[in-house]
Amino acid sequence: MIAKFILFLLIIYGSLFLGYGLKKFCGSFSQFSKPITKIIMITLTPIVILNSFWSIEFKKGLLALIPLIHVTVISFSIVPAVLISNYLRLNKPEKGSFISCSLFSNVGLTLGGFLCFIFYGEQGLYLSSLYISLFIPYYYLVGFPLMSVYSKGKRLKLHEAFLELLRNPVSIVPISFMCTGLIMNFAGIPRPAALNYISARWLIYILSAGYSFAIGLGLSFRGSMKYIKHSLYISGIKFIFNPLMGLLLLFVLGFFRLMDPLPSRVIFIESFMPTAIMSVLLVKLFDLNEDLSNAAWILTNILVIPVIPLMWLIQNLF
């Protein structure tokens, strides 16, 4: 399992530095960063989304609240993100990037979900999938309109943002596949085994590598270095504020009274996750400050490595 975890890190950072190396070799390659991102989001990502929503078994009782805990944790992270960005006197593109990187965490198979699989096996991976089941609709229905407020373009009104959501293939295609997956799920239509094999076993590698490669093409370490302080603030939100929010919700909702401690442990692990690649993609799509988002993504995803043993020690107390 440790070898697989290292493989995931190599795929993410290897692809990142491959893209960065190509950009350094020929600066014109950077122009392909956004097109590659859009192509992946329209063609490959929807397949993973379809498989995920088709396969999730929505539970009753406390377990039904697991997806809402994720939404609550990330929603509350907006508060310190806005307060800190105001304290730092960031301009609109910087503020949008700061909020985006504070809001969305690497909870999927590229880190959070895979850690849950390493620690707890198939059941941990299943509960992790349940935890992040509202990530996609939240990302598109909240993230897109929110980031449009800080975009260099005109500020969109609510109905304009909704229309843009429907017109933009980057958002409407994944949402359509999500709805299709839910319809298939609730209709009880059997899911083809081939879809699960392709999506879970291979496509996730391609997605992680592709997204990281696209980010690498647009990466600028020189520009990112001046945002180390901002990234440390974001790290505080990711590794202190969010886990505390997760523990508070577990206590208030009564998860610690369950006989099975696994749901609490999965939620706790996922609340510790660093900035998501999807945050960087959102910044890229809305022409916000990419240097800040790149710095936050790199630093938080590096800092999470020494944080993992701490997560393991704390969750064993549940």
pLDDT tens figures, 282-305: 898 888 998 999 899 889 988 988
Query: What are the pLDDT digits (tens) for 58-79?
Result: 666 777 889 899 999 999 999 9
Q: How many domains does the chain have?
A: 1
Q: Is the pLDDT of residue 114 over 80?
A: no
List, for residues 269-283, the tens digit of each pLDDT value.
999 999 998 898 889
- CA–CA dist 69, 3 (Å, integer): 31
What is the domain range of residue 125? 2-315
**pTM: predicted TM-score of the whole model, two decimal places:** 0.79
Torsion of CA 241, 309, 252, 57, to 10 degrees: 110
pLDDT for 4: 62
User: What is the average pLDDT value for the chain, to the nearest integer?
Assistant: 84
Each residue's pLDDT tens digit, 198-211: 666 677 778 778 88
Residue 235 sits in a domain of what CATH number?
1.20.1530.20
